[in-house]
Amino acid sequence: MPETADLIVHSAAQIATCASPDGPKRGAAMRDLGLIEDGALAIRAGRIAAVGPTRDIRARFSAPQAIDARGRAICPGLVDAHTHVVYAGDRIGEFEQRIAGATYLEIMEAGGGIVSTMRATRAASVEALARDAAARLDEMLRLGTTTVEIKTGYGLSVEAEMAMLGAIAQLAATHPATLVPTFLGAHAIPPEYRGREDAYVTLVVDEMLPQAAAWYRDSTFAADGVPLFADVFCERGAFTLDQSRRVLEAGRALGLGLKIHADEFTALGGVGLAVALGAASVDHLDATTPADVARLAASDTVGVVLPAVNFHLGSHHYADARALIDAGAALALATDINPGSAPCPSMPLVMAIACRYQRLLPAEALNAATINAAHAIGLGDRVGSLEAGKAADLLILNTADVRHLAYQLGGNVVERVIKNGAVV
C-alpha cells in the first residue's frame, strides 16, 4: 500500500534541495545545491513528506493532486532575512538629492533619512501600514519570497513602535508568507531626543523592549515558536557601540534573539559585539575589517549582506561576501527593502547583484537566499530547504536550471509559488 500525500509535484528537470541538516552552509558546501534530477516531492499537511527521484516518490506515495513540473526547476521558497517593509510614504526626493551628489549619511544628519519616514509612519494608522506592506509582500511572494523578517524602527516612540508591531501582527494573520518580527526601536535618534541620545537608549531599554517582549509573549508568533529579535543600527550618526551594547544586552535579558546593523558605512566594532553576545546575525558588513571577517567566520552568527543597498545608493563598494564565504562564515543575502536605501522587493535581483559585484556563484547566492537566510532568523529547522519534515515552501521556475534565478536580470522566472503546501 502506498503512503498517502495531499500533493505530489513530480518530473522536475531538477530540484535544488539546499539541504543542510547540520546548520547553515559554509565554505565549499555553499556551492552544493543538493540537486536531484527528474525530482519529485510528496507534500502532506503543508509539509514535505519526502523528496527524491520521481520514480521513487511515485512508487511510495499516492495523492489526489499532482503537478507535472516537466522542464521546470524547483527550489525552496526564498527567505528575506532583513526587511523594513512596514513604512509609510517614500523618499523619492532624497533619491534625487543623492543623484545630485548628496550622501545617505549627509541626508540623515540634516534631519532626513530614517526620521523622514518616521514622520510619515507616525501619521499613518496601523491599518494603512498593514495594507501598504501587504501589497509589497504580495509582490515579494510573486518574486519567490515565502518567509520575511520584518523590523519596526520607523515609530521611534513607545506608542509608534508598538503600532508597528501591531501592523506586523495584522500582516501575519492575513498574509500567506511566514513573518518574523524584529524590534528596532534603536534605528535612529528621533528629533525630540537630539542631544540626549543616551536618554533615548534608556527609553528603548527600560520601556520599549520590555513592552515589546510582553506583546510577544501573548502573540501568535510566540505560540507558533517564531522568535522575536532585538536589533540596533550601530553607525556614526545613529547608535555608538556602547549604546548598541546596552540595547542588545537588554534584549538578551528579556530572552529575545539578537541582530545588529553593523559596518554599513563605518566599522565601529559591531561584529565583535554580535559575536560576543551570540547574535543570530550581523547585517550589512560593507566596511568590515579582515580581523572581523575572521571573527565572524569562527562564530555561529550568520553574516547577512544587503547588496541592493549599495546598488541603490549608487556605491561602487560592496561587502566582501567572497572573503566571508572563503573564510568559512555562514553568509546570507537579504533585500533590506526600505524606502531610503533599498526600495527593492526582489530576492532574485539581490542574488543577481551578489553574483556580479560580490563574485558569488549562482549556487552560492541561492544557498545564501534560502537555508542560510533561514538560520539568520532562527527558522533554520523549518524553512529554507526542501527536506522531509520542513514546510512545503517551494518555487516552480519557468526554466530547467535553477541558476537562472541569479542569471536573469530584472524579470521573474518564478512561475508558481507553493506555500505550506498550497499554490498561492
Binding segment (CB under 6 A) for ligand NIG, from list 112-120, 208-216, 244-252, 399-407: 112-120
Q: Is residue 98 involved in binding ligand NIG (CB under 6 A)?
A: no
CB of 309 to ligand NIG, least distance (A): 5
Tell me, letter by letter, the H, E, C secondary structure of 112-148: CCHHHHHHHHHHCCHHHHHHHHHHHHHHHHHCCEEEE
Which of ligand NIG, Fe ion, none lies near 309, with the C-beta cut-off 5 to 8 A by kind?
ligand NIG
**Contact pick of 114, 293, 302, 417 for ligand NIG (by CB under 6 A):** 114
Which amino acid, residue 314? Answer: G
What distance in Å separates the CA atoms of residue 424 and residue 188, rounded to the nearest whole number? Answer: 37
Which residues share a beta bridge with 67? 9
292 binds, among Fe ion, ligand NIG, none (CB under 5 to 8 A by kind): none
Closest CA to 10 of 366, 396, 401, 384: 396
Quote the CA–CA distance of 417 and 278 in Å, as a whole number: 34
Q: Work out whether 84 is an interface residue with ligand NIG (CB under 6 A).
A: yes
Q: How many CB atoms lie within 10 A of CB 217?
A: 13
| Residues 6+ positions from 184 with CB-CB distance below 8 Å | 84, 151, 152, 153, 231, 232, 233
Name the segment binding ligand NIG (CB under 6 A); options: 45-53, 171-179, 317-325, 338-346. 338-346
Q: Which stretch binds Fe ion (CB under 5 A): 20-28, 46-54, 262-270, 330-338?
A: 330-338
Q: Which helix (H) or strand (E) holds 368?
A: helix 362-368
Site track for ligand NIG across 202-241, x = CB under 6 A: -------------------------------x--------
Instruction: Please give the residues from 147 up to 206 whose contact with ligand NIG meets the rule CB under 6 A.
Output: none
Residue closer to ligand NIG (CB basis): 284 or 403: 284
Interface size with ligand NIG, residues (CB under 6 A): 13
Which x/- pattern, by CB under 6 A, does the window 246-285 give for ligand NIG? ---------------x--x---------------------
Helix (H, G, I), strand (E, B) or coil at 39: strand
Tell me if 338 contacts ligand NIG by CB under 6 A.
yes
CA distance 404 to 402: 5
Binding site for ligand NIG (CB under 6 A): 84, 113-114, 117, 233, 261, 264, 309, 336, 338-341
